[in-house]
Amino acid sequence: MHILIIGAAGMIGRKLTSALLKSGQVGGKAISKFTLTDVVEPAKIDFNGDVATVVSDVSLPGEATKLIAARPDLIFHLAAIVSGEAEADFDKGYRINMDGMRFLLEAIRQEGVKAPYLPRLVFTSSIAVFGAPFPEAIGDEFFNTPLTSYGTQKAICELLLNDYSRKGFVDGVGIRLPTITIRPGKPNAAASGFFSNILREPLVGQEAVLPVSKDVRHWFASPRAAIGFLTHAAELDTSKLGWRRTLSVPGLSTTVGEEIEALRRVAGDKAVNLIKDVPDQKIISMVAGWPRNFDAKRAIGLGFKAEQSFDEIIRIHIEDELGGKIGG
């Protein structure tokens, strides 16, 4: 099996690559080749089969065609710019988040004209495709009314994935990722970054800024759960999806205050005292239109799983990123 990971240099891309290397197979088929691509060169990996690391931007005409020419069996499309950046730079957001998907799908379709070709494409969408007003929990039948450019771009990609799958050009699965927390590394341009920052920094003895009130509620899953979503989607019997190819996956509905109390239980008052309230009206306004809770019955019925408590999410970060130790 030949696997192509677009966005392989990012946090999710790196963790996904590691998980696939450890498993060595997908759906009972041995992995024989990796193609890892991003706008910066992905890290080299230790793999007995073929490996290609490619610097490429699929939002540029012709780039997706080059990647698809090798006819990968399984494609993970993770590449995107994040919510805050997409909102700040309208042109860049549509070029990368929408055009990249369109070019990729079209490259797959054109490759299939030459000879039969039907790869599995796993696409990372977002809960940003939904906009207020919300029900108590967003169900599988709730409509998409995004309130940001990022959400709109992801919603368009979901429709494209549906249509290209319906026409038999690709075997697509879309995953609406919850906000992934705790993200390792340095803060990024995502408006949701503070959800991770207020946990990640205090866990290593550093101060963090909280720009919203503690009663803000949101939908979360860990990086470990996100990799589980992607690998499960790669093996899924897509005949069970029908014409609705994108799923809202499980997660945890938690307030910022509950996040902080979970941090207190795991790491104590010393860590919590490093969080400083610094209201940011721009972020407060954006957060007001974000989803807060989901009833992910469809995905759960298909075998997708996430954490059961926020304490578990924090402990996963400590185990996976901090070597099991807390403190600076």
What domains does the chain contain, in order, with CATH numbers? 2-177+222-248 (3.40.50.720)
Q: At 189, is the pLDDT very low, low, confident or very high (cuts 50, 70, 90)?
A: low
Is the pLDDT confidence value at 226 over 70? yes
Contact 40, 55 (CB under 8 A): yes
List Cα–Cα distances, 188 to 65, 133, 193, 304, in angstroms: 30, 28, 7, 27
Cα torsion angle, 199, 203, 209, 213, sign: positive
| Percentage with pLDDT > 90 across the chain | 90
Calculate mean pLDDT across residues 26-33. 97
- Using CA atoms, how far apart are residues 247 and 302, in angstroms rounded to an integer? 10
Judged on CB neighbours under 10 Å (0-12, 13-18, 19+), 64 is: buried
Known catalytic residues are: 150
Judged by average pLDDT, the poorest of 36-40, 164-168, 244-248, 279-283 is 279-283
Averaged pLDDT for residues 63-86? 95
Strands 217-221 and 252-255: antiparallel
Contact at 8 Å (CB) between 205 and 274?
A: yes
What is the per-residue pLDDT for 41?
Answer: 96
Residue 11 has a CB neighbour count (10 Å cut-off) of 16
Sequence-distant (6+) residues with CB within 8 A of 285 are none
Residue type present at position 297: K
- Which tens digit of pLDDT belongs to each residue from 138-184? 999 999 999 999 999 999 999 999 999 999 999 999 999 999 999 99
Write down the pLDDT at residue 328: 58
When the pLDDT of each residue in the chain is averaged and rounded to a whole number, the result is 95
Q: What sign has the CA pseudo-torsion 179, 139, 6, 32?
A: positive
DSSP string, 171-199: EEEEEEE-EE-SPPSS--S-GGGHHHHHH
Above 90 in pLDDT, residue 299?
A: yes
Q: Please give the pLDDT value at position 67.
A: 98
- In the chain, count H helices and then E strands: 13, 14
Banded pLDDT at 290 (limits 50, 70, 90):
confident
- pTM comes to 0.95
pLDDT at 289: 85
